[in-house]
Amino acid sequence: MSDPVLRLSAIEKTYNPGTPGEVRVLRGADLTIRAGEVVALVAPSGAGKSTLLHIAGLLDQPDAGGVEIAGQDMTGQSDRACTAARRRDVGFVYQFHHLLPEFTAEENVALPQLANGESRSRARARALDLLARVGLSTRADHRPAALSGGEQQRVAFCRALANAPRLLLADEPTGNLDPATADHVFDTLMDLVAHTGMSALIATHNPDLAARMNRTVRLENGRLVS
């Protein structure tokens, strides 16, 4: 079996502990994702899906439990170490694209690479290559406002994959699109993921999309069940 790209063990997370507003969200959540696996994360609204994705992506720390990414134990590591690991190993896609409005599609995809120390020419070449893969070669010079919702989200996928992360985390990546566009854009995402051989954890409410992934995990009462 291949090595895990993500391993969460016995993750606990409570918001506002010890106050009347206490919310115990994760209660011993375990998850292992191996290289090349694409896993659907299904959960009722408010069950803690975003909390789990933030912890898996090193944007938030659990109260207890272990987080391992690409074989590196990140439990209790400094913010600096988490930022470095996140930049290197993790790509994020959200329901809303969060592209920078003043930059073109190509620049939006090149920026994370420049932040990682890549040269301008190589960042540009990779951005154009990724945009071509999602059928947006002719839109590279467009700013987000001049792109359709589906095109904006495809640019966001390219940006998430720009630094060739080991792990893609996506929170309802097509949730903001009409059903037909969502279907098409989701296919593009799956093609990109398959092409790069990366692993992915993709939250979705859509059972048809979940069925296209390798397996589904369900977040129930703070734990993950297969």
Ligand X SMILES: Nc1ncnc2c1ncn2[C@@H]1O[C@H](COP(=O)(O)OP(=O)(O)OP(=O)(O)O)[C@@H](O)[C@H]1O
| Closest separation in Å from C-beta 72 to ligand X | 24
> Is residue 46 a contact point for ligand X (CB under 6 A)?
yes
Q: Answer yes or no whether residue 15 interacts with ligand X by CB under 6 A.
A: yes
Using CB under 6 A, pick the residue from 45, 78, 121, 138 that binds ligand X.
45
16 binds ligand X (CB under 6 A): yes
Q: Which helix (H) or strand (E) holds 11?
A: strand 4-15
Q: Which is nearer to ligand X, 43 or 217 (CB)?
A: 43
For position 23 contacting ligand X by CB under 6 A, the verdict is yes
Minimum distance from CB of 56 to ligand X (Å)? 12
Give residues with Cβ within 8 angstroms of 108, minimum separation 6: 99, 100, 144, 155, 159
Q: Per rule CB under 6 A, is residue 55 in the interface with ligand X?
A: no
108 binds ligand X (CB under 6 A): no
Identify the residue among 50, 108, 188, 199 touching ligand X (CB under 6 A). Answer: 50
Q: Is 132 in the site for ligand X (CB under 6 A)?
A: no
**Smallest separation (angstroms) from ligand X to the CB of 183:** 21
Q: Which of 133, 118, 114, 147 is closest to 193 using CA atoms?
A: 133
Q: Decide if residue 76 touches ligand X (CB under 6 A).
A: no
CA distances from 51 to 13, 36, 55, 77 (A): 8, 23, 6, 18
Residue 29 Cβ vs ligand X, minimum distance, rounded to whole Å: 11
Q: Which of 6, 2, 7, 47 is nearest to 26 (CA)?
A: 47
98-103 CB contacts, 8 Å cutoff, 24+ apart: 98/156, 99/144, 99/152, 99/155, 99/156, 99/159, 100/144, 101/143, 101/144, 101/145, 102/143, 103/143
Say whether residue 110 binds ligand X (CB under 6 A).
no
Q: What is the contact surface with ligand X in residues (CB under 6 A)?
A: 15-16, 23, 25, 43, 45-51
